[in-house]
Structure 1
Amino acid sequence: MGCLVSTPRVSGGIRSKPGKVGEIVVFVPGLRIPKPIDFSQPLGDALSKSLIERLSALRTRIVVMAGQEEPMSAKPRRTATQHGGSSLADLQQALEDYLPVLLGLVQNGIHLQHMLQFVWANQEDYAEETAMSNSWYQVLSVLHLMAMLSLSQANTLLLPKKTADSYQSKVSEESRRASVDIFLKAAGYLDFAVQHVLPQFPPELRKDLPLDLAEGVLQALSLQALGHAATVQVMIEDA
């Protein structure tokens, strides 16, 4: 004995209601974190003491906070792409405080661009370490970290959670709307990196950049962020 599904008929054939978009999981590459650096020695009298101290304090704060973030490969499978919520937001704020100061140094102090060696390591494999005496490399690395933290924040918002009035885990509309803004922010960081920072590197230096900072990788991550933003927006409208 068979079963029949009743579907409303309209002129021109059968119209079925589009299926809802399911929950999504965000791919977040391992974080690249900075290593300590002493600003005072290489810069000497090139900058004021107060500016050197500010740069040093901001970057040291980032180094310490980034070092406290647990590698994603060490996290439980259920939250494999999730970093700590509040600590992650604090690190993002520290980067937002540091970036304008760093950009001012790079854009207004051209002669200082090659006086410092910046070292960043892949959190998943500390042997994968890249050092460059180029301030634009620092800017690029900061933007990449800000984008990865944004993707991780968005993913955290999209993890189903139990509510007081429900036994089932679900994602609230508020969290979905917040994740859309964060996805767009991540895409903006990556697009700025591709359009305005990478062109500052001579071709021979671009070849020495780690794979995570390659133009194609940054573009792919930006498209992923935009795609997720569009998908979540559809989920909101379809709810």
Structure 2
Amino acid sequence: MMAMLRLSQANSLLLPKTSLEGYHTKVSEENKRASVEVFLKAAGHLECAMHQVLPRMSPEKRKGLPVDLSEGVLKATCMQALGQAIDVQLGLAIDSPKATLAVKRRLACEMVKCWQQAHESIADIPLLDGWGEKHRLFVKWKHMEAKAAAYYYHGLILDEGNTEKSHRAAVAALQSAEESLRESRAVCEAFHTASPFSRSPTLWGSMKYLHDKIHKDSNCKVRINKDLYSNVDRTHETVPALPDFAVALQPEEYRLPRTDAASAND
């Protein structure tokens, strides 16, 4: 419950406020940074549940828990909180003229790792109700968005090389970014049409910037490289692997409060 309240608090910080005139204003940088801290608190509560609460329960009691409180769902939600925090960081980096492509690529790759772990944690869990399936679709949607961002920045960095090999790899990465973006749109639509139905929001965060940039830059680089290497067949070009970065953000540690003997006996 504490983790869910934290997630709700973090997401509310990222909602644009409506002015007295009825116009939506931008989310302040202060609110974005505050949301990162709250996401980390949420992740800390979930880690506490996984490592301090569940191990103290008997196997019989754990079997009786609803699937939403299973270790896999708790792990997925923890990684979701980290992934959303990194997404906010990436958005801040995009807005900063000082942030390099390398910094943006690293953040995007870290985000992929978080959403990949979230996806793996609930892939085999029988989430039979509507909310469970909607959660699974949300994780897949954000995973594909993260891959689109990571391949996009990876492609731009590869394109800075001076060799035909690096340019061809850049094109393959950018095309993979565009494919991931297309898939994310399809999963996004499936998410919103899945019961309980929800309305598709306007683009925000890193995708607000990348949604159009990925398509434009991918087409541009493909066209340029076709002109440079018109005799080269790139039909079977292998997509370059993404760099493997450790996730820098960590959940904020949370410990259960001590209980006295009297309350423990109760």
Answer yes or no: same fold by TM over 0.5. Answer: no
Larger helix proportion of the pair: 2
Pick the TM interval, shorter chain. 0.3 to 0.5
Which structure carries more strand by proportion? 1
Max Rg structure: 1
TM-score of the aligned structures, taking structure 1 as reference length: 0.37
